[in-house]
A and B are shown apart, each in its own frame.
Chain A
Amino acid sequence: MTLSAFIEDVPSGIAGKVRASAGSEEQVLIQVATDMAGRASFGKRFLVVTDQRLLVLDSATDDVDIPLTQIERVRSDALIGGGCLEVELRDGAPVRVYYSNSLTPKFAEVAEGIGLLIQGEDPNLPLELDRTHCAQCSRLLPEKGGICPGCIRKRDTLKRLLSYMTPYKARALLLVGLTLVTALIELVPPYIAKHIIDDVLTENGDLGLLYLYVGLLFGLAVIRWIGNVVRRWLNTWVGFRAMADLRADLFRSMQFLPLRFYDKRKVGSLISRMNNDSDQVEGYLIFDAPFVLSNATMIVGILALLFYMNWQLTLYVLLPVPPILIGSSLIWNRLQGYWRRWSARWARLSTHLNESIGGIRVVKAFAQETREGERFDRRNHALRDVSVSAERSWLVFFMVTNFFMSFGAFFVWYFGGVQILDGQLKLGELMAFISYLWMLYQPLKWFGDFYSFMVRAFAGAERIFEVIDARSEPFEDPRATPIPHIRGHVHFRGAAFGYDPGKIVLRDIDLEVQPGEMIGLVGRSGVGKSTLINLITRFYDTSRGSVEIDGIDIQSLRLEDLRSQIGLVAQQSFLFNGTIAENIAYGKSNASFEEILRAARAANAHEFIIGKNDGYDMVVGEQGNKLSGGEKQRIAIARAILHDPKILILDEATSSLDTLTEKKIQEAITRLVAGRTTFAIAHRLSTLRSADRLVVLEAGKIAEVGTHEELMAREGIFYQLVQTQQATSAVMATEH
């Protein structure tokens, strides 16, 4: 039998030790490194498993060498901030290999693999785990299998950003052209002023020439004005359109991302990608980038002109430039630190605000207004302090650069004055010089910022692109089998799953469900009932084994076909802010009002809906919060009825409701369930009486399967659960 292997590179010393212990005829199946030397310290250690033995090696001498036959079992134990692979032996102290959290997924697989190996099966390890280091520069990646911020080339990001301009190419090019022209036009007036002073305002000045020059100045001012208006207009036109396109791309990608992506991220941080990151990119595209372009053009133009006019004087002009540049780059880091702190504190303040206003009822109920005020003050003062510090640094920087800039003016006045006295320079030239000097320093002062604006905007763009590029659910896989009409046969074959590779939630699930059958899922909370359902909807894929629908592996089915024929009624029914009718028709947007009515009647929702002032046109509010829990639930059931799913999932659909409402909902559900394959989870076991079969889960496995009566007769786990519930309700009844 050839077995699959999972081998990492090891130093030659370790490889030598492996050969020395295992000899050449043994096949090395697992060879991995851990990042903890023992339980206490970081370091390197290696776990090697051949088809005969298990070795734990490090550079020290006390290596472990155990024949596989000695191993009782292997498990990975989650610790805080790391974990421990524990190899229990038939006899003697267990072998423990510690690892940090960075390696938890790997060792979870390894533990599972060794477990299979000692049972004589193929360890069946995945050949590739998510990369933790960048393949190019080997720096640690911020997210596993994610992008390396160091290796993203800014040029590529820029190119990609610019690609959002392509639909508006003509206007974008016009924009660039106009920007260059207006920037260059800015340079002309001082030059004309020079001519006015030197050629017109002399003893034998020519009034006609003055008309010409003033006319020219006026003409330029008009052109510049028109140019700027058109430029700004084009800029906003193109910029906002490109940004809207980018945001649309981002939103669409977010919709198609798998749930797994959302598990690992905070909703807030994703929303901030939409808000802050796109704001930054927008700001850059609309304000900063054009500013940079026109200022860069001006700087180059001014320098060229100055050198052309008088190169010696230009060198004096440039004297204060190095200190300004050095100063701004030095202060930049400091300022950025302040700004970062400022935004962090601002975020904390607004979180607090959000919380205490959102929870105002609780605040008042516990009479905590004063304390909330004190907490707010603390955060508010922290924000104030950092704002003051930031502003102070900024002011110092501003003053210092201005001081240096006036130095330039001193130089030019002095050396220019000397040159005029010597007759080498005319007054007009000197005046023009001084004008250009100020025009040059202004953009220079900002140049440090431009770079950082760019970096920040690009980082924002990268974060947006990261979401856009994240692998979405395979909605458009052309190889997928279309299944327009699901019959409703569901078959789990040895399915196993864990949200984290280290923690298996479900294992060895074998269950065949006939079309139209109703299955009740029973078990303690956290046993994996909801997880089992997540496998049917394919919110997650099994890690081992498979789920088949109508005899086809769920992973090869067209996802859209699958999901559009599954209906879900959950404990917390989520309604969107819209009318009741819109919410009922959510799964079937082309439904006629007749259909909506019928669905609502079937769901026992019609009565309460017509009791509302606006009836079916009532707006339900954010997340439906203008309706009661039972009302929301019935609308969710109507939604599911109209959606007409072949497979129906009821996740605690009747819990937390009063008896009367529950009865109504129970009725509605009975109508909904008819003729559909149904999986129902309920805590109150009595509500599952109508189920054809009950499946009892225990410790991630199927423990019992059968009808209510069969399971009661068996007196197993289900029997006990029922007993406990009856006992509790009896106690509650006597207490009342």
Chain B
Amino acid sequence: MGSDNTQGETKSLNAITPITVTHPERVDIDALRLFREPAWVLRLTIEGDRSYTRIKIVRAAPLSHPDQYISFLDAKDEEICMIDSMDQVDEPARALIREELDRRYLTALIRHVTSIRNEFGTSYWDVETNRGQREFVVQNVAENAQWLGDHRLLIVDVDGNRFEIADLTALDKRSQAAVEQVL
């Protein structure tokens, strides 16, 4: 949001509001150990305290802060702890986190738009993505495409699959023209 350009009177709003959080209990990030043991089971151990298998690693804000605020959930989907930034853990853990996130978030990045046909309010897309070629159908593009920034676009198809255009202006001219036709 670009609301910080209204200076002066909103100054007090920009100050950090002091909020005390007592729940969940604080986990010492330095005591966090993430590893595979055996090779196919991801474990999270809080050194000297407890250990979890079957953990889920999720993004708190997958669209606005994909690489920050990573949360660890236990088998009941309750939060064990959250790290604000990847820098808080060591490189092997970071690699594991990235791998898990990559596995969980199946959003495909569109690299090239081969064609978009628009018929009766339904558009048929044929695209090249970082995960390979794919065709998909979007009904009522205006409703199912979400602008995440000036040039960043998330498209959800009829089945709930997600496709992202990280930067529309970075696509080739033909792809841009095709997308602009339907948006």
Contact = CB atoms under 8 A, between A and B. Distances in A.
Interface stretch (B21-29, B86-94, B153-161): B153-161
A177 interface: no
Which of A43, A79, A82, A143 has the most chain B CB atoms inside 10 A of its CB?
A: A82
Contacts of A455: 120
A347 interface: yes
A80 to B, nearest CB: 5
A93 B143 contact: no
A149 B124 CA distance: 11
A81 B122 contact: no
A142 B140 CA distance: 10
A1 to B, nearest CB: 33
Interface stretch (B44-52, B97-105, B168-176): B97-105
A140 B137 contact: yes
A79 B135 contact: no
Contact of B132 (A41, A79, A139, A374): A41
B152 interface: no
A292 interface: no
B104 A79 contact: yes
Which of B40, B106, B121 has the most chain A CB atoms inside 10 A of its CB?
A: B106
B136 interface: yes
Given A81-B106, A81-B107, A94 B142 contact: no
B159 to A, nearest CB: 4
Given A81-B105, A371-B3, A142 B40 contact: no
Given A94-B40, A269-B143, A371-B3, A43 B103 contact: no
B158 A79 contact: no
A139 B182 CA distance: 19
Nearest to B180: A337
Contacts of A347: 142
A73 to B, nearest CB: 13
Contacts of A150: 119
A518 B164 CA distance: 52
A363 interface: no
Contacts of B180: 337
A726 B158 CA distance: 47
Interface in A257-277: 266, 269
Contacts of A459: 120-121
Contacts of A82: 106, 161
Given A79-B105, A82-B106, A371-B3, A341 B137 contact: no
B120 A462 contact: yes
Contacts of B129: 42
A481 interface: no
Contacts of A341: 183
A216 interface: no
B151 interface: no
A102 interface: yes
Contact of A42 (B131, B139, B143, B183): B131
B108 interface: yes
Given A41-B131, A269-B143, A462-B120, A142 B158 contact: yes
Contacts of B124: 139-140
A40 interface: yes
> Main SS of chain B's interface residues?
mixed
B140 to A, nearest CB: 7
Contacts of B40: 92-94
Interface string A49-79: 0000000000000000000000000000001
Given A143-B139, A337-B181, A340-B142, A93 B39 contact: yes
A344 interface: yes
A101 interface: yes
Contacts of B181: 333, 337
B138 to A, nearest CB: 9
A141 interface: yes
A100 B139 contact: no
A79 B39 CA distance: 21
B62 interface: yes
B162 interface: yes
B106 A143 contact: no
Bin chain A's interface residue count: 35 or more
B65 interface: no
Contact of A43 (B62, B132, B136, B158): B132
A381 interface: no
> Main SS of chain A's interface residues?
mixed
Which of A40, A333, A371 has the most chain B CB atoms inside 10 A of its CB?
A: A40
A147 to B, nearest CB: 10
A143 B160 CA distance: 11
Contacts of A142: 122, 137, 139, 158
A93 B108 CA distance: 27
Given A41-B131, A94-B40, A140-B137, A100 B159 contact: yes
Contact of B161 (A101, A340, A343, A462): A101
Contact of A101 (B103, B160, B183): B160
Contact of A149 (B106, B122, B182, B183): B122
Contact of A39 (B102, B161, B183): B102
Interface in A315-347: 333, 337, 340-341, 343-344, 347
A143 B122 CA distance: 10
A266 to B, nearest CB: 8
A22 B131 CA distance: 32
B36 to A, nearest CB: 10
Nearest to A102: B159
A82 B102 CA distance: 12
Interface in A93-142: 93-94, 98, 100-102, 104, 132, 139-142
Nearest to A81: B106
A80 B143 contact: no
Given A102-B161, A141-B137, A39 B132 contact: no
Nearest to A266: B143
B5 to A, nearest CB: 10
A72 B143 CA distance: 43
B162 A80 contact: yes
Contacts of A80: 62, 104-107, 162
Contacts of B122: 142, 149
Contacts of A104: 159-160
A580 to B, nearest CB: 39
Given A94-B40, A347-B142, A459-B120, A79 B103 contact: yes
B133 interface: yes
B105 to A, nearest CB: 5
Which of B121, B134, B143 has the most chain A CB atoms inside 10 A of its CB?
A: B121
A100 B158 contact: no
A104 B157 CA distance: 14
Interface in A25-51: 36-37, 39-43
Contacts of B137: 140-142
A341 B180 CA distance: 10
23 contacts: A36-B131, A39-B102, A39-B103, A42-B129, A79-B103, A80-B105, A80-B162, A81-B108, A81-B162, A82-B161, A93-B40, A100-B161, A101-B160, A101-B161, A102-B157, A104-B159, A143-B139, A269-B143, A340-B182, A343-B142, A344-B183, A371-B3, A374-B3
Given A42-B131, A101-B161, A374-B3, 12 more contacts: A39-B103, A42-B129, A79-B103, A80-B62, A80-B104, A100-B161, A102-B159, A142-B137, A142-B158, A149-B119, A337-B181, A347-B142
Q: Which 8 A-B pairs have the closest CB atoms?
A: A93-B40, A81-B106, A344-B142, A459-B120, A42-B132, A82-B106, A102-B159, A101-B160
